[in-house]
Amino acid sequence: MNVRKVLSITVLLAALVFLSVGAVSAQDSVTINWWTIFTTPPELTALAETVAQEFMDANPGVTIEITHLENEAFKERLATVMQAGDPPDLFQSWGGGVLWTYADAGLLRDITPELTADEAAWQNSFATQAALNLYSKDGVYYGVPLTFGAVGFWYNTRLFAEAGIESIPATWTEFLGVVETLKASGTIPIAVGGLDKWPGHFWWVYLAIREGGQAAFEAAYTREGTFADEAFVEAGNRLNELLALEPFQPDFNALGYGPAAGLMGNGEAAMELMGQWAPGVQQGNSTSGEGLPEGELGWFPFPLVEGGAGDATDVLGGGDGIAVGANAPDEAVEFLKYLTSPEVQIRFAELGTGFIPTVTEAESAITDPLLQDIVEARNNAAYYQLYYDQFLPPAVAQQVLDAVQGLFTATMSPEEAAQSIEDVASFELE
């Protein structure tokens, strides 16, 4: 092979790499501010920075400044800059009501033209349009999902076996029996980070879904019903059945999500009700940094509540996505397209941290049987509900968190908790 041919091939390969990372046209210096919650495990943080560097290398003049924030710190800091009318160019978003509120306030950029360009190539690349639609309002898109899954029970197979539990619980009654068996064996049945409130709200929302199904929530949301209706009160009663068994670790209301996940990662607790990202957080917060040994972690869906109107396949879930700030430059949208390209999504999935891709061409990268179970639950759900603390308007969402914590701390009755949510919803949802 002569030198000229080698140079030609080199130039061609360089051009292909340049195109694959979403190169944009020559421009003046541009800075993109990207706020993430990719703080753990470290591999996730590192890959986010790597792909940002790749984009900068391919686009001279573009600088991406990344701010990694822990979940609760992110929410507090974002609220501050939003109140000041100064959103980051790109930032973590779960979609739904919170994002819609920002859109109504003019704090987000409409990226519909980019999504629908080239016969909607970017829009159609997403595997689940339901996830994408959480980032739109009235047909206008303000962001896209990165990873999307389902909340369910992560459990320690060794602790289940040592307690003599031979099958996963299919009903609420069976689940309570499993909790009693685990407790009798000397194991902490469930880890929960009650201090952060949102992990606890998964319990009440899932029970409301099982008690009332899609119809109960839609009635309350559209004001044809209320959040004080029977399904939501019964959700509190069911939660109290569980709390009466003292299933959580000591001082669970004083422990945040990260340390609680560490109990699972250390093999000190048998179950955790959490989303698809749980294995990575358990690993990152474990004492060894390694998490549970291979084969010691299992997953099962939230059990059926006997007598409830909800379907056993109904799913509570969501995921991480990125919203685009109102003043974001075009280069920020190009970088977002790069983040949701199959090549980058596959690399995130291959980290083994629970990242479930949202674009069709990257789904083949899901080889973990547990994540495949979650994808099956997500794709086969008769009704898919985004977390209430993200779907509902901020004031209602906050009251849901506060009311459920009132149940966890035994300072509210099920009726009082449901009514307190309804009191706020009656103003915010009219």
Cα dihedral 81, 258, 253, 36 in deg (nearest 10): 20
**pLDDT of amino acid 27:** 54
pLDDT at 401 over 80: yes
Taking the C-alpha atoms of residue 207 and residue 134, their distance in angstroms, rounded to an integer, is 22
State the chain's mean pLDDT as an integer: 91
Residue 423 in 3-state DSSP?
Answer: helix
Nearest to 37, CA basis, from 79, 62, 66, 80? 66
Q: pLDDT by residue (tens digit) across 232-243?
A: 999 999 999 999
Q: What is the pTM of this model?
A: 0.78
pLDDT at 165 over 50: yes
- Percent helix, strand and coil across the chain, each rounded to 5? 50, 15, 30
Return the higher-pLDDT residue of 402 and 389: 402
pLDDT band with cut points at 50, 70 and 90 for residue 22: low
**pLDDT of amino acid 25:** 53
pLDDT at 215 over 50: yes
CA end-to-end distance (rounded Å), the chain: 74
Structure tokens at 187: 């194991």
Phi, psi of 348 (to 5 degrees): -65, -40
User: What stretch of H or E contains 354?
Assistant: none
pLDDT at 370 over 90: yes
Nearest to 150, CA basis, from 404, 409, 423, 383? 383
Nearest to 92, CA basis, from 105, 78, 103? 78
Task: For residue 352, count CB atoms less than 10 angstroms from its CB and return exposed for 0-12, middle for 13-18, buried for 19 or more.
Answer: middle
Mean pLDDT of 121-141: 89
Residue 269 in 3-state DSSP?
Answer: strand
pLDDT band with cut points at 50, 70 and 90 for residue 8: very low
Decide: 151 and 206 in contact? Cβ < 8 Å: yes
Taking the C-alpha atoms of residue 17 and residue 384, their distance in angstroms, rounded to an integer, is 38
Taking the C-alpha atoms of residue 202 and residue 66, their distance in angstroms, rounded to an integer, is 30
Q: pLDDT by residue (tens digit) across 28-76?
A: 799 999 999 988 788 899 999 999 999 999 999 999 999 999 988 998 9
Structure tokens at 375: 């994808």
